[in-house]
């Protein structure tokens, strides 16, 4: 394994130390752990010859200029925020690979500039809105997202100010598409397809579209011992029926998925009939019309169940990202690098969302997937083998050394 690949593996381990949870990796956006990770990434970017800054929305941006003025910029990115009890590779791998590939070409004059970006808000776990870091660069940042609040009532605006950012300048982070060669992201597959096909790497064809939201159900709290069953407006029993209905709708399309990942019963207690519940919903598909149909079916199921049970329920969509096809020119350049690095070319869609989808229809984007063991992700067992990391680094280094010639 090259020293570069070994350094990537070592840095991923080191980055694990930046966590807000004892004995697990939890690094929510704009948290103390995110600040520590941003500090490590800044030092590594500087060692790779990049000029580094923290931008207006919490991204760490490392930049190197081109050999000639007025050249366009290639952006290499991924995210360093994580879910709770996360794995070490989701997002982090793409950032550390980008830094290492820049170190590899540090002394080589290139006909384009490079920016490596460690986005700070891809997972959308702390605030209901997400992808704010990549949307800022894509020029689609929504100022309303600054008013999103976390579970403690802290707004994104206040969290950014405390992080040392100036959110009033978020719109200034937009990159000019005419001055941008494209956006590329290397990421673990987070699924089992590469492993089943015994491949280290895959070329992404498109990123599935996704919608997320929150369902609130208002029933009537009551005494678990005295309230007769036929008089109840049990918000949790209604939620349970809605969860199963959403699962059924998710099964109605071959590549459609629908998930309720979180359910809350405020003031829940063993001897109280639940009066209120809140549940999350996440719906994805490679076809936007199928995702819209599924959302309509979910709304209809919510209305049917709520009416039958005499409770009030509504679905508020907080995130809606259309499917994002990957750019043909950048993907062809990656295909050439696969060939030069002796990797069979295997194309697959992404069921997971990524920062790359923020650039849809504005800046060309392409992604390369790295095999992950068992397809497991969003869990501590998430794992990418050093040999596969080395393969990804070799392809990225080849891509950087050749992309300018083909543009």
- DSSP reduced 3-state for 279: strand
Nearer to Mn ion, 119 or 399 (CB): 119
Nearer to Mn ion, 221 or 357 (CB): 357
What CA–CA distances, in Å, run from 125 to 26, 30, 106, 160, 184? 10, 11, 35, 16, 24
350 vs 367: CA distance, rounded Å = 9
Selection from Mn ion, ligand HGY, none that 213 binds (CB < 5 to 8 A by kind) is: none
Q: Please list the alpha-helical segments (H only) found in 48-176.
A: 92-104, 132-138, 156-163
Q: Which two tokens stand for residue 224?
A: 């678990």
Closest contact distance (angstroms) between CB of 284 and ligand HGY is 8
Q: Is 90 in the site for Mn ion (CB under 5 A)?
A: yes
Nearer to ligand HGY, 122 or 398 (CB): 122
Selection from Mn ion, ligand HGY, none that 98 binds (CB < 5 to 8 A by kind) is: none
Q: Is 91 in the site for Mn ion (CB under 5 A)?
A: yes
Q: Is 122 in the site for ligand HGY (CB under 6 A)?
A: yes
Residue 380, C-beta contacts closer than 8 angstroms, at least 6 positions apart: 24, 25, 85, 86, 87
Q: Is 397 in the site for ligand HGY (CB under 6 A)?
A: no
- DSSP reduced 3-state for 354: coil
Nearer to ligand HGY, 123 or 234 (CB): 123
Q: HSE of 238 in the Cβ direction (CA atoms, 13 Å)?
A: 33
Selection from Mn ion, ligand HGY, none that 115 binds (CB < 5 to 8 A by kind) is: none
Q: Is 124 in the site for Mn ion (CB under 5 A)?
A: no
Nearer to Mn ion, 91 or 209 (CB): 91
Torsion of the alpha carbons at 373, 376, 379 and 382, rounded to the nearest 10? 20
Closest contact distance (angstroms) between CB of 297 and Mn ion is 26
353 vs 121: CA distance, rounded Å = 12
β-strand partners of 317: 213
What CA–CA distances, in Å, run from 377 to 184, 186, 259, 343? 21, 15, 16, 24
Q: Is 355 in the site for Mn ion (CB under 5 A)?
A: no
With contact defined as beta carbons under 8 Å apart, do 140 and 127 qualify?
Answer: no
259 vs 262: CA distance, rounded Å = 9
Number of residues that bind ligand HGY (CB under 6 A): 4
What is the enclosing helix (H) or strand (E) of 243?
A: helix 235-250
Q: Which two tokens stand for residue 380?
A: 């501590």
Reference 234, options 303, 304, 306, 299; nearest CA is: 306
Selection from ligand HGY, Mn ion, none that 41 binds (CB < 5 to 8 A by kind) is: none
Angle at 25 (CA atoms; ends 21, 26), nearest 5 degrees: 65
Closest contact distance (angstroms) between CB of 27 and Mn ion is 11
Contacting ligand HGY (CB under 6 A), which of 4, 133, 353, 364?
353
Q: Which two tokens stand for residue 227?
A: 């309230």
Closest contact distance (angstroms) between CB of 135 and ligand HGY is 14
Q: Is 382 in the site for ligand HGY (CB under 6 A)?
A: no
Q: Is 189 in the site for Mn ion (CB under 5 A)?
A: no
With contact defined as beta carbons under 8 Å apart, do 157 and 312 qualify?
Answer: no
Contacting ligand HGY (CB under 6 A), which of 123, 150, 234, 327?
123
Contacting ligand HGY (CB under 6 A), which of 200, 203, 341, 352?
352
Q: Is 327 in the site for ligand HGY (CB under 6 A)?
A: no
Q: Is 355 in the site for ligand HGY (CB under 6 A)?
A: no
Nearer to Mn ion, 347 or 379 (CB): 379
Q: Is 121 in the site for ligand HGY (CB under 6 A)?
A: no
Closest contact distance (angstroms) between CB of 81 and ligand HGY is 9
Residues that bind Mn ion (CB under 5 A): 90-91
Q: Which residues in this chain contact ligand HGY in the complex, by CB under 6 A? A: 122-123, 352-353
């Amino acid at each position: 394994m090259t020293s570069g690949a070994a350094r990537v593996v070592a840095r991923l381990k080191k980055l694990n130390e930046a966590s807000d949870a004892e004995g697990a990796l939890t690094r929510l956006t704009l948290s103390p752990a995110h600040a520590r990770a941003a500090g490590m990434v800044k030092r590594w970017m500087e060692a790779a010859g990049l000029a580094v800054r923290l931008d207006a929305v919490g991204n760490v941006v490392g930049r190197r200029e081109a050999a000639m003025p007025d050249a366009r910029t290639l952006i290499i990115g991924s995210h360093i925020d994580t879910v709770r009890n996360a794995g070490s590779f989701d997002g982090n791998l793409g950032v550390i690979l980008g830094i290492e590939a820049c170190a590899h070409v540090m002394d080589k004059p290139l006909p384009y500039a490079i920016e490596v970006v460690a986005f700070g808000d891809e997972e959308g776990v702390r605030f209901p809105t997400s992808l704010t870091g990549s949307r800022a660069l894509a020029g689609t940042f929504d100022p309303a997202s600054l008013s999103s609040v976390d579970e403690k009532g802290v707004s994104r605006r206040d969290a950014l100010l405390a992080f040392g950012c100036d959110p009033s300048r978020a719109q200034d982070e937009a990159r000019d598409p005419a001055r941008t060669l494209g956006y590329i992201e290397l990421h673990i597959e987070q699924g089992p397809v590469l492993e089943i096909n015994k491949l280290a790497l895959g070329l992404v064809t498109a990123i599935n579209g996704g919608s997320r939201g929150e369902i609130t159900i208002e029933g009537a709290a009551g005494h678990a011992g005295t309230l007769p069953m036929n008089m109840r407006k049990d918000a949790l029993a209604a939620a349970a029926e809605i969860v199963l209905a959403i699962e059924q709708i998710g099964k109605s399309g071959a590549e459609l998925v629908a998930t309720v990942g979180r359910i809350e019963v405020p003031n829940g207690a063993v001897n109280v009939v639940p009066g209120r519940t809140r549940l999350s919903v996440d719906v994805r598909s490679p076809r936007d019309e199928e995702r819209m149909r599924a959302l309509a079916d979910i709304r209809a199921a919510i209305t049917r169940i709520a009416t039958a049970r005499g409770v009030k329920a509504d679905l508020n969509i907080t995130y809606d990202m259309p499917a994002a096809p990957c750019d043909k020119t950048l993907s062809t350049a990656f295909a050439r690098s696969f060939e030069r690095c002796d990797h069979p070319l295997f194309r697959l869609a992404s069921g997971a969302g990524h920062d790359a989808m923020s650039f849809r229809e504005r800046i060309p984007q392409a992604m390369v997937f790295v095999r992950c063991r068992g397809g497991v992700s969003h869990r501590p067992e998430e794992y990418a083998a050093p040999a596969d990391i080395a393969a990804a680094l070799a392809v990225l280094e080849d891509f950087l050394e050749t992309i300018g010639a083909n543009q």
